Amino acid sequence: MLKFWWSATNAHGVHSPFVYQLVTRCFYEKEYKISTEFLDPKQPHFKSAKLIYKILNYLKFDEILSTFSDDYNTHMALSSSGKETRKINTNNSIKISENSFIFIEQLNEDIAHGLVELLSKPPDNFVVLIRNIRHDKTTFKRWTTLQRNTAITISIDTYGHGFLFRRSGQVKEDFKIRL
């Protein structure tokens, strides 16, 4: 963790206008604190659910897909957008539409394979949020493989979470951001 903090930056070390605005207006935004009162700080994944809630409300997705287990905070954060959350079936390939948000609870081999397959096809604009990318060495290796994929234009490592963005017209960049 110390190595991550040493190499990571805050918003002022980011030179991408999109990522700078995402970090300052979404990740670091305190305005959402009042809005997240429906989350239970005593339940698991409270901080993660706050991050999910913030990004869903900041980027306004058309579709939400998830592999999450039914923990209270994650369920509440995903349902806060008012959109139905479609569960990803790990046995089938992942099919999405433009402007989709994909939440991955645990990056296992099947999910990683499905994401690699997804990256080889359109659409261009979507976001993948992976919880606990440093669960173990294998999970982190899967994360770095996805991060290096040429179809990913922006990757953000926040130590606990990994964000993969595929945005048309965006130059490929990788970030480590302190939350």
Q: Could you state, in order of their start, the residue ranges of all structural domains in the chain? A: 2-176
pLDDT per residue rounded down to tens, the chain (179 residues) = 677 767 677 777 778 889 999 999 898 887 655 577 889 999 999 999 999 999 999 998 999 999 877 789 999 999 988 888 888 866 656 678 889 999 999 999 988 988 888 888 877 789 999 999 999 999 999 999 999 999 899 999 999 999 999 988 888 999 999 88
With a CB cutoff of 8 Å and minimum separation 6, the contacts of 154 are 16, 18, 19, 163, 164, 165, 167, 170, 172, 173, 174, 175
- Which residue do the tokens 């005593």 mark? 42
- Stretch (H or E) spanning 168: none
Strands of the chain (E only): list them: 63-66, 85-87, 100-104, 126-131, 154-157, 161-166, 173-176
Chain-centroid distance, C-alpha 22: 12
CATH architecture of 2-176: 3-Layer(aba) Sandwich (3.40)
Tokens 């030179």 identify what position?
A: 15
CA distance 21 to 82: 24
pTM of the entire predicted model: 0.90
Count CB atoms within 10 A of the CB of residue 84: 9
How far is Cα 56 from Cα 86, in angstroms, rounded to an integer?
Answer: 15
